[in-house]
Amino acid sequence: MQKVILIGRPNVGKSSLFNRLARERIAITSDVSGTTRDTNKTEIEIFDRSCILIDSGGLDESNELFKNVQAKTLEEARNSDIILFMVDGKMMPQDEDKRILYSLMKLDKPIALIINKVDNEKDELRSFEFNEFGIQDMFLISVSHNTGIEDLLKFIYPHLKDELKPDEEETLDDFLENLSEDGEFKDNEDYENKPIEVGIIGRVNVGKSSLLNALVKEKRSVVSSIAGTTIDPVNESYIYEDRVFEFVDTAGIRKRGRIEGIERFALNRTEKVLEKSDITLLVLDSSEPLTELDERIAGLADKFKLGIIIVLNKWENKTEQDYKEACKEIRDKFKFLSYAPIITVSALMGKRVHKIYSLILEVYNNYTKKIQTSKLNEFIKEVTITHPIPHDKGKLVKIYYAVQFGVAPPKIALIMNRPKTLHFSYKRYLINKIREKFNLEGTPIVVIPKNRGKDEEEK
């Protein structure tokens, strides 16, 4: 498992960020410089990917003890995969920080400069002085106010696992070499007539089985107040507007420490269901606060790149204000599913369940949508003029053209001169703009920067 290390001089907030990312108080924090001397390690999840997070001792050579701590910290950095170098945003840039950062950059690993304690506008203005460090990936955060953390996680995420698997890389290369004469993507799959596979997922006892029964209009799943009633996936077909929906009610998922016996098989079966699904209904219990487990389950939909609809169940006697607050909480917690529509239902009472059918069709159409190449390129040209691609160390980064090479979900290749330098934040900007322009609500969009030729050097 890959290792992510927090490194920096004493009292910059490494242990506080460690606790924040671990979501529990593991490391001792205090205002006393050098509180952390040994390294703390814990496994964390960033969206749907796991890694080992390391909180290191502060880099300080003021006495023999701290010199030993520093030596151990630097050794841990050499053995880590991703380095997060933290500085104190309340202070002006220090020459010592610059020296340490440059030495870490020589390790040739993904590295980010984290400016902590940026609590107000004055701090933010001061932080711009750190531009002199010349590092591309720089993040302003405040651990105490929990701001800027999301962008940091999105920096780490793509480094934890290659975005393209070998077989996907081969598929992309084959496609680009065999474009049709009009430059359009063609797929032999009959998406307009095949059954739409819909997996129903969520924590135990959120009402998934009741929802399935309401959707197929019969008591197909056993329903009870006992958590974990459903173990085997339950399949049922339903026809709506001449389209066949294949619903699958999966077993409710518990916290890892509470998964016992046969439920371990149920969890594995849930993942196998999602591997075959097109759309997932993420069921949440509106009568309870969202939990970390809800976030983890939501990550499964992201992991398998499925179309997704968030279903707020048990929505009885709620107000418009309740709806606004619930949506805000969901958007705050599930930022990586910002594209997912939210619908409120009462599966037990059968209220608004019928609206899910048309929503599934809409999301599925977006999930399998083919974008005309000429329109895609006109739009890419337009948005890159409005918001130019940042240069890479003074060198121009440009997109020659864009082409869709897959659906379910839509997959778009950006043929570029320097694909490895396209920052994740700019890619996110392009994805958001593409979704808005071509109406791709409810579906993830895969955007892959690619050299014009397999062996072409970046210029």
9 is in an annotated binding site: yes
Is 395 labelled a binding residue?
A: no
The verdict on whether residue 193 carries a ligand-binding annotation is no
202 is known to lie in a ligand binding site: yes
15 marked as binding residue: yes
Sign of the torsion angle spanned by Cα atoms 149, 155, 159, 163: positive
* Residue 116 is assigned to a ligand binding site: yes
Residue 267 counted as an annotated binding residue: no
Q: CA 5 to CA 40: how far, in whole Å?
A: 10
Is 13 assigned a ligand-binding role in the annotation?
yes
**Dist. CA 34–CA 243, nearest whole Å:** 64
Residue 252 annotated as part of some ligand binding site: yes
Q: Radius of gyration of the chain from Cα atoms?
A: 24
In angstroms, the Cα distances linking 438 to 31, 129, 372, 410, 432 are 51, 40, 10, 11, 10
55 is annotated as contributing to ligand binding:
yes
Q: Is 251 annotated as a binding residue?
A: yes
Q: Is 79 annotated as a binding residue?
A: no
368 is in an annotated binding site: no
**Residue 199 annotated as part of some ligand binding site:** no
Instruction: Please check if 56 is assigned to a binding site.
Output: yes
Is 274 among the annotated ligand-binding positions? Answer: no
Q: Does the annotation list 10 as a binding residue?
A: yes
Let me know: does 234 contact 212? Beta carbons within 8 Å.
yes
Phi-psi category of 92—alpha, beta or left, where left has phi over 0 and alpha has psi -120 to 50?
beta
Q: Is 206 annotated as a binding residue?
A: yes
Would you say 58 is a known binding-site residue?
yes
Any known ligand binding at 12?
yes
CA 444 centroid distance within chain: 10
Distance CA 166, CA 318 (A): 49
Q: Is 208 annotated as a binding residue?
A: yes
| Residue 210 annotated in ligand binding | no
Type of residue at 353: V
- Is residue 299 marked as binding? no
Question: Residue 453, annotated ligand binder?
Answer: no
Please state the residue numbers annotated as binding site.
8-15, 55-59, 116-119, 202-209, 249-253
Please state the residue numbers annotated as binding site for GTP.
8-15, 55-59, 116-119, 202-209, 249-253
